[in-house]
A and B are shown apart, each in its own frame.
Chain A
């Protein structure tokens, strides 16, 4: 065939009438004429290559190697007998010809006359085969048959895996050190972070010597760009930067982990400290949700990203107590996700129309949420158990204007503060719906409060709660207890307070009038309802209890008030222990402690033996006091001796200059006049009163 073509080409160069095809020799002899010789001369070399002339044809020339790469194997094909084979073949062709021209197909048959259930298809090119694999692998032909499509060459690849498994190279372990070293402090002193100098400096202090001394643990300039946050158990310190978050910890506060999230503004930790949620209002693309990212803290890996539709309240994702679930509220739904898969629980959200607010119980896997009144359906509060999604308790509420949910720290009680419209719809009155979580059927007690409720707080570890109600200046604090009925223990009137701070261990509460109320403070013991102390930290903006409930810090932050920036340390009884002024002091946060590993019975035992421990502590305290004063005294002694030396020199010099002084003042010895020994008592008479007495006639 090539020869003919060649000749044809040459003929074109010479004459038009030359005939094509056929063997020249035969033709010439048949006609008897001498046909012109169209064959190439012996040494002719063609100047056109095969590829150039016949490229497209050559491509289709069957090559041995090609065949394998273009072949796909389809498994899970229905096994059919000869009568249905053609139908099957048509169906297969229809499905698979979409990806390219099927060059050949092979339906192997088994001994029973039916097809074996797998077929081979050859495409004209490997690209087609790849497409077919990508698109049809997992294709559901019918209920029982889902195609498994693979490249034929893959089989080779997978069977060629070496028998010996080589372990991957071990990365050197970066030991972050003892992350909980601060808990081992012998004196059980707590640490706290302080940001001052307008944000330029961040320091970690330790509260030592019973509150009288603040020891500096670590201080760095520009450690964070905005503010800092501790993780819930106190293991990490998170600092904010333009590029993301950094976590620091261990004895030297080394950087443990870094998370890249451009423009991050807010973060939240899961209570178990395994995960961290970051939010940045900046970049967000349609396909790669980037507004909210959830990270695994130990590995630093990004687990999942979410969009942030509306600027709702942070934290948008709320975690349950052990970090197993996290939930978020949508317009009409509640989505619960589970870890570590980070997928939706049971792949669906709960549809809850108009859901307003939800909170996890701090200890159980229960979510409390409320829905406002709509279309004649009353508002209600529901307790939902996860993962069963069972509504374990609901309560309908009528004429509701607003609700606020408050869980008690141990999850024993739930309070929903309900603002209700009066019958005339003009005024508001207030109810507290108190759910007793630990009792069967979760009974609800209702307490009505006549005045506007400003603040509400449960006692941690206890059964009491405090309500601040009323309008300034007649604000009252009422303390209730959840005994068999809800009983009002005491109502304290005329208080200057707008915030409540319970000690994290319960029993003691501080009523604070922050910011506009000029920092009025009252320290109350709720066991006997006494006011232990009334004090003031003028213009205080924040109050923070330490995690053990021994100390309180009140602070005037530069962010709130430009002068007198300082923090004051008080004992839980309201005794002022220490004042620390810091230039442009901004934020103070106590380092949280992980929950105590002691069991309830162990704690009981310790409380019983408290008297013994008390003796030990008192001895320790006495020693500490005397040591402190001894140090101070020694320091002062040193200062005094130094100064005396200096003064002696000066006095000597002064004496030498006496002559000159006398001369300056014309010989008058004012030195002697001014000295003590020449003091004489002088009687001075003052005119006091003048009285005229008229002597009678």
Chain B
């Protein structure tokens, strides 16, 4: 089926996310206005206006009522999903790079950058308070010394947060104590994206060192490696098949040295277990910054540096394709 091309952003896409039921697709970009679309036909429902800087990350809670965004204007904001109204704003002293709702949707976390002398911090807030949000103090504010956090997800049963750092290492922080429980270094360069699988037991990480890797979420054991020759910006696991999709590109500086012929940037599909590449989908005009699978596994989306979000529905052959083993 022909891919849907969603044009709505004026700058490069930074992250895309499906909601739990998969009917909505959220996208944020460097143009300060996150959008929400119908994933079925690509119709845009609206935008969340308020940020003054590039929006680096966003998340939607499991009930699709609230939206959380993290931006370069030193704020993380909470919005009402349906109306687009801003519910709350947390001001930080640095750009906020990553954010996420917990499994329960009651708590949120976000991480800040290291700039202007401030250390990055991992903040955890409880958002159940409602009108009392204004007086909210963080449940926990964990300072990060060492390489800054570039990507983070809530783990398992909301007991810990898994962070990926600029150096390529992963840490596990206990939510109650704030302690760094585990630390693992397998990647050699910055972690660009971490995404959990459907049952939240494993996650796949995309790194600038041209590899994507599969880890166990609890023990941080390294399970698989998917090799490419370009820096990987994002990776996602199919909820239906044993597949991983990788989206990447190259250094922004070197974009002009790659063929400028139409749609040369591709998303690559690997077999989860055999680590073998079996397919590529071309179409983007620039490096791919974010990929996500639809929760039913019948389609996937990718957002690129070119500002477009492409929604691809799989052909029947995709589901029939089997590796001989």
Give the complex CA separation of A564 and B105 in angstroms: 43
Across the interface, do A646 and B223 meet the contact criterion of CB distance under 8 Å? yes
Give the complex CA separation of A651 and B273 in angstroms: 16
Give the complex CA separation of A563 and B103 in angstroms: 41
Query: Within 8 Å of chain B (Cβ to Cβ): is A657?
Result: yes
| Chain A, residue nearest B202 (CB) | A650
Complex contacts, B41 vs chain A, CB 8 Å:
686
Complex contacts, A661 vs chain B, CB 8 Å:
103, 157
Counted as pairs of residues, one from A and one from B, with CB atoms less than 8 Å apart, the total is: 67
Identify B201's interface contact among A633, A654, A660, A674, CB under 8 A: A654
Query: Within 8 Å of chain A (Cβ to Cβ): is B177?
Result: no
Give the complex CA separation of A48 and B298 in angstroms: 123
Complex contacts, A684 vs chain B, CB 8 Å:
40
Q: Considering the complex, which residues of chain A in the window 527-552 have a beta carbon less than 8 Å from any beta carbon of chain B? A: 538-539
Across the interface, do B325 and A633 meet the contact criterion of CB distance under 8 Å? yes
**Shortest beta-carbon distance from A639 to chain B in Å:** 5
Query: Within 8 Å of chain B (Cβ to Cβ): is A566?
Result: yes
Mask, A9-30, CB within 8 Å of B = 1, is: 0000000000000000000000
Complex contacts, B295 vs chain A, CB 8 Å:
674
Across the interface, do A564 and B258 meet the contact criterion of CB distance under 8 Å? yes
Given A639-B273, A646-B223, A665-B104, check contact A670 B20 (CB 8 Å): yes
Query: Within 8 Å of chain B (Cβ to Cβ): is A170?
Result: no
Query: Within 8 Å of chain B (Cβ to Cβ): is A490?
Result: no
Complex contacts, B258 vs chain A, CB 8 Å:
538, 563-564
Complex contacts, A65 vs chain B, CB 8 Å:
none
| Chain B, residue nearest A654 (CB) | B199
Give the complex CA separation of A666 and B103 in angstroms: 11
Across the interface, do A538 and B259 meet the contact criterion of CB distance under 8 Å? yes
Residues of A in contact, count (CB < 8 Å): 33
Task: Give the secondary structure class of B's interface.
Answer: loop
Complex contacts, A633 vs chain B, CB 8 Å:
324-325
Query: Within 8 Å of chain B (Cβ to Cβ): is A93?
Result: no
Given A564-B229, A664-B104, check contact A640 B223 (CB 8 Å): no
Across the interface, do A563 and B254 meet the contact criterion of CB distance under 8 Å? yes
Residues of B in contact, count (CB < 8 Å): 31
Query: Within 8 Å of chain A (Cβ to Cβ): is B299?
Result: no
Query: Within 8 Å of chain A (Cβ to Cβ): is B85?
Result: no
Query: Within 8 Å of chain B (Cβ to Cβ): is A518?
Result: yes
Query: Within 8 Å of chain B (Cβ to Cβ): is A44?
Result: no
Query: Within 8 Å of chain A (Cβ to Cβ): is B126?
Result: no
Identify B257's interface contact among A561, A636, A670, CB under 8 A: A561
**Shortest beta-carbon distance from A364 to chain B in Å:** 47
Mask, B261-283, CB within 8 Å of A = 1, is: 00000000000011000000000
| Chain A, residue nearest B158 (CB) | A664
Query: Within 8 Å of chain B (Cβ to Cβ): is A643?
Result: yes
Give the complex CA separation of A676 and B20 in angstroms: 14
Query: Within 8 Å of chain A (Cβ to Cβ): is B182?
Result: no
Identify A660's interface contact among B20, B157, B257, CB under 8 A: B157
Across the interface, do B257 and A562 meet the contact criterion of CB distance under 8 Å? yes
Query: Within 8 Å of chain B (Cβ to Cβ): is A679?
Result: yes
Give the complex CA separation of A304 and B295 in angstroms: 77
Complex contacts, A650 vs chain B, CB 8 Å:
199, 201-202, 216
Given A563-B250, A653-B201, check contact A674 B324 (CB 8 Å): no
Complex contacts, A670 vs chain B, CB 8 Å:
20, 62
**Shortest beta-carbon distance from A360 to chain B in Å:** 42
Query: Within 8 Å of chain B (Cβ to Cβ): is A255?
Result: no
Give the complex CA separation of A636 and B224 in angstroms: 13
Give the complex CA separation of A679 and B296 in angstroms: 9
Query: Within 8 Å of chain A (Cβ to Cβ): is B185?
Result: no
Complex contacts, A422 vs chain B, CB 8 Å:
none
Query: Within 8 Å of chain B (Cβ to Cβ): is A637?
Result: yes
Complex contacts, B62 vs chain A, CB 8 Å:
665, 670
Complex contacts, B222 vs chain A, CB 8 Å:
none
Complex contacts, A653 vs chain B, CB 8 Å:
201
Give the complex CA separation of A290 and B134 in angstroms: 85
Across the interface, do B274 and A639 meet the contact criterion of CB distance under 8 Å? yes
Query: Within 8 Å of chain A (Cβ to Cβ): is B323?
Result: yes
**Shortest beta-carbon distance from B144 to chain A in Å:** 26
Across the interface, do B273 and A643 meet the contact criterion of CB distance under 8 Å? yes
| Chain B, residue nearest A657 (CB) | B157
Query: Within 8 Å of chain B (Cβ to Cβ): is A629?
Result: yes
Identify A636's interface contact among B40, B43, B259, B274, CB under 8 A: B274
Query: Within 8 Å of chain B (Cβ to Cβ): is A581?
Result: yes
Complex contacts, A640 vs chain B, CB 8 Å:
273-274, 325
A-B contact pairs, 6 of them (CB 8 A): A562-B254, A564-B229, A650-B201, A660-B157, A664-B103, A666-B104
Going nearest first, the 7 A-B pairs with the smallest beta carbon separation are A636-B325, A664-B104, A581-B229, A650-B201, A643-B273, A637-B325, A538-B259
Which residues of B pack against A, CB within 8 Å? Answer: 20, 40-41, 43, 62, 102-105, 156-158, 198-199, 201-202, 216, 223, 229, 250, 254, 257-259, 273-274, 295-296, 323-325
Which residues of A pack against B, CB within 8 Å? Answer: 518, 538-539, 561-564, 566, 581, 629, 633, 636-637, 639-640, 643, 646, 650-651, 653-654, 657, 660-661, 664-666, 670, 674, 676, 679, 684, 686
- What 10 new A-B contacts, CB under 8 Å, besides A564-B258, A650-B202? A518-B259, A538-B259, A561-B257, A633-B324, A636-B325, A640-B274, A650-B201, A651-B199, A653-B201, A684-B40
